[in-house]
Amino acid sequence: MATGRNHRPATRSRGIPEATVARLPLYLRALTALSERSVPTVSSEELASAAGVNSAKLRKDFSYLGSYGTRGVGYDVEYLVYQISRELGLTQDWPVVIVGIGNLGAALANYGGFASRGFRVAALIDADPSMTGRQVAGIAVQHVDDLESIIAANDVSIGVITTPGGAAQQVCDRLVAAGVSSILNFAPTVLSVPEGVDVRKVDLSIELQILAFHEQRKAAEDLSRSVSDGVRVSRARRGDQGPEGEIPAVMPA
Ligand SMILES: NC(=O)c1ccc[n+]([C@@H]2O[C@H](COP(=O)([O-])OP(=O)(O)OC[C@H]3O[C@@H](n4cnc5c(N)ncnc54)[C@H](O)[C@@H]3O)[C@@H](O)[C@H]2O)c1
């Protein structure tokens, strides 16, 4: 099986928009669930709803893959799984290194979902000498002093950083100098990298903040609705003729 940094996904060369690339994993997840249930075909509407995407957008996205479906039948599930996997570069093996094997790094190393999606945890690296040689997820942790030779030996092109924030930039610099060209950063640090290196930052607290924003908006809407209902009920009891559905201004609590 092909491995390593010389094998980039096809998406770049064909100029598929980044927004489409970002939705491909959503389609793939929905399609994989259909495939597991042995569903042979799916309509764009069904798939769009399963992936949480608008169906016109889905059809446009699939047109970049050269996949148009069959009128009245829909899309062939297995073929789409193959097409999207190929587009994302998942039909080949991607060796991944995780640097910083504390709570998060160990949890990621133990996550079985990477392997089934084409990502093989090739090495685990930590700066703590007491960690060296310790087995995590069946892999012996290696010392950060050997980072460069570990990257070379495993032909790694994707690095995951789960060190404390203060160490992340230095780890990133070493990974890049050793030939890693894609980084998934969990540390609370904005990394600077040279051109040609891709960084994706994962920050669960930002996701929670976005959910908090939506929760707050829903609570304000509920409050506004219940006040409006209350006004209508009391008007009806008094026999008032106020305009139907009028909603009084509500100040947030
Ligand atoms: N993005 C998120 O949503 C999210 C969620 C949780 C934690 N985090 C971040 O992930 C990181 C790890 O969190 P944790 O709870 O696993 O911390 P942890 O302290 O349990 O683990 C950090 C590990 O990194 C190692 N380390 C330190 N410096 C290093 C270096 N220079 N090279 C290699 N290894 C080094 C330490 O020895 C330790 O084993 C932190 O930066 C934390 O803020 C992010």
How far away, in angstroms, is 163 Cα from ligand 1 center?
Answer: 3
Each residue's pLDDT tens digit, 62-120: 999 887 778 888 999 999 999 999 888 887 789 999 999 999 999 999 998 887 778 89
Residue 6: inside a domain: no
The reply to whether 102 sits in an annotated binding site is yes
* Residue nearest to ligand 1 atom 5, measured at CA: 204
Q: Report the domain count for the chain.
A: 3
Q: Which of 172, 183, 186 to mutate to test the pocket of ligand 1 (most atoms within 8 A of CB)?
A: 186
Measuring from atom 15 of ligand 1, which residue has the nearest CA?
103
Same domain, 187 and 122: yes
Check whether residue 26 and residue 62 sit in a common domain: yes
Q: Whose CA is nearest to atom 17 of ligand 1?
A: 102
Give me the phi and psi of 125, to 5 degrees please. Answer: -130, 140
Residue 4 lies in a domain: no
Identify whether 3 is part of a domain.
no
Domain boundary among 52, 87, 122: 87
Q: What is the ipTM of this complex?
A: 0.98
Question: Closest ligand 1 atom, CA of 128?
Answer: 37
Task: Let me know whether 184 and 216 are in one domain.
Answer: no
Question: Cα–chain-centroid distance for residue 164?
Answer: 21
Q: Give the pLDDT band of residue 232 (cuts 50, 70, 90).
A: confident
Residue nearest to atom 39 of ligand 1 (CA): 102
| CATH number of the domain to which 125 belongs | 3.40.50.720
Is the same domain home to 158 and 222? Answer: no
Choosing from 27, 61, 87, the residue where a domain stops is 87
Pair (242, 172) in one structural domain: no
pLDDT score of 127 more than 80? yes
The parent domain of residue 121 ranges over: 94-202
- Ligand-binding annotation for 105, yes or no, is yes
> 102 alpha carbon to ligand 1 midpoint, in Å?
6
| Ligand 1 atom with least separation from CA of 104 | 16
72 and 145 assigned to the same domain = no
Looking at the predicted structure, is the pLDDT value of residue 240 above 70? no
Structural domain includes residue 176: yes
Residue ranges lining ligand 1, Cβ < 6 Å: 99-105, 125-128, 144, 162-165, 167, 171, 186-188, 202-204
Report yes or no on whether pTM surpasses 0.90.
no
Which residue has the least CA distance to atom 2 on ligand 1? 203
pLDDT averaged over the chain? 87
* Co-location of 171 and 98 in the same domain: yes
Give yes or no: residues 190 and 209 share one domain: no
Residue 2 resides in a domain: no
On whether residue 124 sits in a domain, the answer given is yes
Q: Are residues 121 and 166 in the same domain?
A: yes
Residue 103 marked ligand-binding: yes
Residue 251 is predicted with a pLDDT of 41
Ligand 1 atom closest to the Cα of residue 189 is 41
